[in-house]
Structure formats: structure tokens, C-alpha cells
Amino acid sequence: MAERILTDEMIAEINEFVSRYPSKQAATVPALHIVNEKLRCVPRQAVVEIAQILELHPSQVQDTLTFYGYFKQDKPGGNCRVWVCRSIACALRGADELLEHMEHKLHVKAGETTADGRISLEYAECLGACEHAPCILAGDDLHKSVSQEQADKLMAGIK
Amino acid sequence: MAEFEPVLLANVGKDESWTRRVYEETGGYQAVRKVLGKIAPKDVAETVKASGLRGRGGAGFPTGLKWTFLPQNHPGPIYFCLNADESEPGTFNNRVLMEDDPHQVLEGMMISCYATNCKTAYYFMRCEYPLAYKRTLNAIKECYAAGYLGKNIFGSDYSLDIFLHRGAGAYICGEETGLIESLEGKRAWPRIKPPFPAVEGAFRKPTVVNNVETAACVKHIFDRGVDWFKSIGVPPDPNNPRDAGSYGPKLYCLSGHINKPGCYEAPLGITVTDLIEKYGGGIWKGRKAKACIPGGISMGILKADEFHCPLDFNGPGKFGCLGLGTAAVVVMDETVQMVDYLMNSARFFSHESCGQCTPCREGTSWATKLLTRIKAGKGRLKDLDLLAEIGDTIGIMPGTTICGLADGAAWPLKNTLKKYRGELEEYIKRTNPDGWANTEPVRALQLLSIH
Ligand SMILES: Cc1cc2nc3c(=O)[nH]c(=O)nc-3n(C[C@H](O)[C@H](O)[C@H](O)COP(=O)(O)O)c2cc1C
Ligand code: SF4
Ligand code: FES
């Protein structure tokens, strides 16, 4: 048997969500968030265990997981996910050039993680902060009207 | 005209505006006290109906009317979902409300839930809003601690639970039935309607889905009255029997090539020109405007000589756009090439299509491929006809697709090809003078069409 991935704390947290909804399945996305936050991905074994808690078939959890690009499965993302918005308001203020600059500096393409595991660089569709275009969401921090120089500082500051 | 006084944004910018203390010091939670247990839920809904409030989430459906579609005397449960998914490019008014005045949204939600006899509500927020999430979660905790949520709220015999639910990044979660499917733990595949959510929604029970700004408006209707609400905005167009009027204050999101981008509150019916000049500080770098998106990327495009367009629910439609949408105005200056704007919007929709309907899934990705090739200097003039055909065939609502995303994808195409065809032709001729050289085959596809 594969080794158990979900800790007792994770299970308790998931069960807290279960009580909020009339169906156990509704706790799927919260459960994926809980695991993803701790492990920076949701391995297959975790999918099986979530399915057990929620009384679902693993394929139901897997189906939901794969629909949302937010969740990774096969290997953990970097310490920090850096989302660069590429939608229209940001594009009008240089988002494409900004993303290209960052790809160049980090030696990765959007969607990849740096070799040292520090940063996962991703593009985002509208981050809902268009008044601060071009903007970047790094972890929980929104960076506003980001120039290429500011992006350099931001990338260097991530541990 | 008297100076317009903002209400939705009245607290924004104040120190700690997101706390219950500041909210109550500025008159917060008075409206809900006037309503709960004192006015019958049915009459609360009637008041909202009388105010003429229309949903601020994009479709502009009359809010009170939507509530009356719930089955009468239903044994329950009835669910209320607050749509805080907000992913339409250009749109950020919900974020501003949730970050800077989360209690205002909660108060509106409480009144809306009471009016619809809902005792369990889900607050569905996109996961890209960490600050809004933190402040809303805190505001909900403050409410529970004060007895404003839970059992017998505000000392009435009405009980209400609000649960904050985080999405996982997908535009389609904003579509109301996609939101419901996602809430239920599944992929956010929109449902075929009918049944409408009011009859069979979340967990197969009657459900109301409303936008964050809509809920905020509900609060103010009970603070200030129906007459106040109706005194703002524009009455129905007598020549258009389908126009229900556009009443109340509205949040406009200004972004793009503008000096002062931001979220501004103005009466419905303000023109694009006034919005840009009075609030946005004009076009940046002293340049001239070329075009703008009047209400989020799905709505199509206005040319600079159409900026006298009034931004009410009926306005942009008169200028060949789909509608007011989310009232998010994205301004483009004279340096913008339309092929870039088209490419950006097509790429967005093909990325966000949920993939259930063939015309939407294939049409959006086909348009993206064509535009990528045109942009790369390998376009042919007849590609523009192909694009026009895609625009005409993917977006026929209702009929060939389950939800409105396909329609939203079609409008930028249709509008730009009509309003800027000359410029696109010129781009192709300039970047690919040989016309036929170097073209990779484009996948042909017979799209469904009903004529
Ligand atoms: C593709 C698509 C995306 C949508 N996204 C949102 C959204 O992010 N937020 C929102 O409130 N409504 C969105 N809507 C509209 C909702 O389906 C629904 O009409 C709205 O939430 C109802 O609330 P209202 O009546 O208060 O406007 C979207 C619709 C479609 C077709
Ligand atoms: S129209 Fe597009 S987004 Fe909507 S249900 Fe069909 S495929 Fe999905
Ligand atoms: S377009 Fe970038 S945040 Fe909206």
C-alpha cells in the first residue's frame, strides 16, 4: 500500500468543510486547496485519500482537479507562484514584454519552475487589478504597475 | 446638474474601512435592522422590484423579478450564491468593494437572503483575490461574534449562515450554472437551461445567484429608499419596449491608456467621454483615443467617434455592441493595432472555453490560430472572411451553445471586422505582400449555424 499522504490536521480541516455543504462532494475544491497549500501539488495518492473521505470515486476528484489549471499533480511547484497577467488591460501597458523579460531572466517558460525551485512562473488571465496594469500576483502579494526593473527586484527577493 | 454623491464607494479610502467598527460608525447595518423581522420577505423583494435594480454582473436582469421566480411556499432549503468570481478582463469593481468595504457586501447579502427565504448562503470568490478573501473572512467572523450571523440574527427570528468558498481559477465559474457546478465540487461546466437555478440550482434546490455589486445596491435601497434609487440613472427608452430602464449608481472600471485608471462611481447613463475626462484624467501621454471596450472584453468595441455612447444597459447596444456588461471601460490609444487587441481577446476566450460545446471550443481556438498567423505576417485577405464567419456562427444565443461565453467571444470579432476591416486588410497586405506565400494550412471546420 502506498504511504498515507494526508496528515491528521489536513483530514480534520477537510472534515470541517464537509459540514458546510449538503453534499460531501462539495468539499472537493476546498480539500484540493488544503493539500495544495501544504504540498504545492496534489499527488495521485492524495486524490485517492480525498476521495475516501468524501465517499467519491477517485476519478471524480481527479476530474475536478484537472479542470482547474490551478492545481498541479506530478511534481510540486516552486516556493512561490508568480502570476503575470496577460489580459487586455495589462497587455496595453506592456504585460507581454514583461512576461518575456521574466522568462528570459529566469530561464524558464511560463508554466515552468526555476531549476533552483524558487519560482514557478505562470501567466494569468485578468487578475482583476486592471487599474494597476501591468500587475503580478506573487504568492499572496499583488504587485502594481510593475516595470521590468521592479520585476527584477521582485524575482531576486523571492527565497 | 448637482454634484453626484458616491454611496457604494463612500467608505473606500477611509482608515480601516474594512472593519465592522468603521462600517457601523458610518451608518452600517442600519438597513438590515430596519428589514429583518419588521418587513415581510415578500415585501422586501417587492421593494427591490420597484426600485428597478438590474443585476450588475453582466446580463442586467431585474433583480427583484429574478427573486420572484423562486417557487412559492417551497419547504426549502433555498440557496443564495454570491457571485464573486469576477474574471471578465477589465473588471475589478467587486474586488474594490470586497477589499475596502466587505461589510457593505455582507449587509446587502443578508437582506437579499432574507428576501428570498434563504438560510444558507455561499460566497463564491475567485482564488486570485487573497486580500479580499482575508478581509471578507474576517468580516464574516466579526459578524458571527456580534450575532449578525448564525441563529436569530439582529435579535430577529431569522437565522442565516454565510460560507466563504474559494474558486480555483477559471473564468467560466462566473457563469451562474458553472459556478453552481464548481461549488458542488465538479468541473465548472455550465448547465443547459431550463431548469433555471431559481427552480433547480445548487444541490438541485432553488437558488439565487447575484453579483457582489448587486448585493451592495440592495443595502442602499433600504437605507435611502426606492425614490432615491430611481432618481439616479435613465428611465426606459419609450421607443424600446424591451428596455426596463437603468436606475441607480454604478461602478465603472477604467483601465488601459488612461491617465488615472481606477474604479469610479457614477450614475448609469454617463457617457464614455465624460467618464474619461471627468474621472480618468484623459488619455495618457497626451495621445488621442482610438477605441474602447465599453463593458468588459465580451461586449465588443466602440470607436473614438462613438464615445458619446451612454453607459446604461441600453446604450452600447445602440452602437453595435453586445451591451453594458460589467461597465469596465478599457481605453486604447492611437498606437494600438487592432490585430493585437483581437489576438488578445481570442486567446483569452479559447483559453477559458470550458469545452463542452463544439462551436465554442473549436471556434475560439480556430480564431486564435488564424489571428496568430495573421499577426506573424502570414495572413491572407480571405482569413478575414473566415474570422467573420466564425464570429457569426459561434455566438448565436440561445441555440447552439450552452452558455454566453461563445457569444462574448464573437462580439470582439464581429465588431472589429465591421469597424476596422480596412486597417486589418492593410496589415495583412503590408506584412504579407505576396499574399499566398508561406501559409500553413488552416484547419477547416463546418460550424453549426441556424439561419
Ligand atoms: C461566461 C460568463 C462569465 C460570467 N462571469 C461573471 C462574473 O464573473 N461575475 C458575475 O457576477 N457574473 C458573471 N456572469 C453572469 C452570471 O451568469 C449571472 O448572470 C450573474 O452573476 C447574476 O447576478 P446579477 O443578476 O446580480 O447580475 C457571467 C456570465 C457568463 C456567460
Ligand atoms: S459556450 Fe463555451 S464556455 Fe459555455 S458551455 Fe459551451 S463550451 Fe462551455
Ligand atoms: S487585465 Fe490584467 S488585471 Fe485585468
Q: Please give, rounded to a whole number of angstroms, the shortest distance from the CA of B375 to a CA of chain A.
A: 14
**Atom of ligand 3 minimally distant from the CA of B92:** 4
Residues with beta carbon inside 6 Å of ligand 2? B 172, 190, 353-357, 360-361, 401-403, 405-406
Q: Identify the three-state secondary structure at position B262.
A: strand
Mutate to test the pocket of ligand 1, among B56, B65, B68, B83 (most ligand atoms within 8 A of CB): B83
pLDDT bin (cut points 50, 70, 90) of residue A1 is low
* Nearest residue of A to residue B347, measured between CA atoms: A87
List phi, psi (to 5°) of B241: -60, -15
Mean pLDDT of chain A: 96
Of A22, A26, A89, nearest to B89 by CB-CB distance is: A89
Q: What is the pLDDT at residue B195?
A: 96
A148/B228 Cα distance (integer angstroms): 48
Do the beta carbons of residue B278 and residue B287 sit within 8 Å?
no
**Which residues of chain B fall below pLDDT 50?**
1, 439, 441-451
DSSP state of B87: -
Query: Which grid coordinates belong to B118?
Result: 434563504
Contacts of A34 in chain B (CB under 8 A): none
Of A88, A124, A133, nearest to B344 by CB-CB distance is: A88
Q: What is the pLDDT at residue B446?
A: 39
For ligand 3, the distance from its centroid to the CA atom of residue A125, given in whole angstroms, is: 7
Q: What is the pLDDT at residue B49?
A: 97
Nearest CA-CA partner of B55 in B98, B94, B90, B28: B94
pLDDT tens digit string along A84-98?
Answer: 999 999 999 999 999
**Interface size between A and B, measured as CB pairs under 8 A:** 139
Q: Is the CB of A126 under 6 A from ligand 3?
A: yes
B382/B421 Cα distance (integer angstroms): 12
Contacts of B336 in chain A (CB under 8 A): 92
Report in angstroms the alpha-carbon separations of A108 from A100, A115, A118, A158: 10, 9, 12, 16
Which residue spans within B300-379 are E strands per DSSP? 302-303, 328-333
Query: Which grid coordinates belong to B246?
Result: 437603468
Query: Which grid coordinates belong to B162?
Result: 454565510
Q: Are strands A119-124 and A136-138 parallel, antiparallel or unpaired?
A: unpaired
For ligand 3, the distance from its centroid to the CA atom of residue B437, given in whole angstroms, is: 37
Residue type at B217?
A: C
A6/B304 Cα distance (integer angstroms): 57
Contacts of A133 in chain B (CB under 8 A): 255-256, 261
Q: Which of the ligands is closest to the CA of residue B256?
A: 3
Q: Is the CB of B295 under 6 A from ligand 1?
A: no
HSE (side-chain half, CA atoms, 13 Å) at B338: 26
Q: Is the CB of B60 under 6 A from ligand 1?
A: no
Query: How many CB atoms are located within 10 Å of the residue B25 CB?
Result: 11
Is the CB of A131 less than 8 angstroms away from the CB of B253? yes
B61/B42 Cα distance (integer angstroms): 19
Radius of gyration of chain A measured on its C-alpha atoms: 18
Mutate to test the pocket of ligand 3, among A97, A126, A146 (most ligand atoms within 8 A of CB): A126
Q: What is the pLDDT at residue B449?
A: 36
DSSP state of B302: E
- Residue B439 CB burial class (10 angstroms; 0-12, 13-18, ≥19): middle
Q: Hey, CA dihedral for B57, B61, B62, B67, is it positive or negative? A: negative
Is the CB of A130 less than 8 angstroms away from the CB of B131? no
B386/A146 Cα distance (integer angstroms): 37
Q: What is the pLDDT at residue B397?
A: 60
Give this complex's ipTM.
0.96
B102/B135 Cα distance (integer angstroms): 7
Q: Hey, CA dihedral for B422, B339, B358, B320, is it positive or negative? A: negative
Q: What is the pLDDT at residue B228?
A: 97
Q: What is the pLDDT at residue B451?
A: 33
Nearest CA-CA partner of B328 in B352, B301, B288: B301
Mutate to test the interface with A, among B96, B184, B356 (most CBs of A within 10 A): B184
Q: What is the pLDDT at residue B241?
A: 84
Q: What is the pLDDT at residue B398?
A: 59
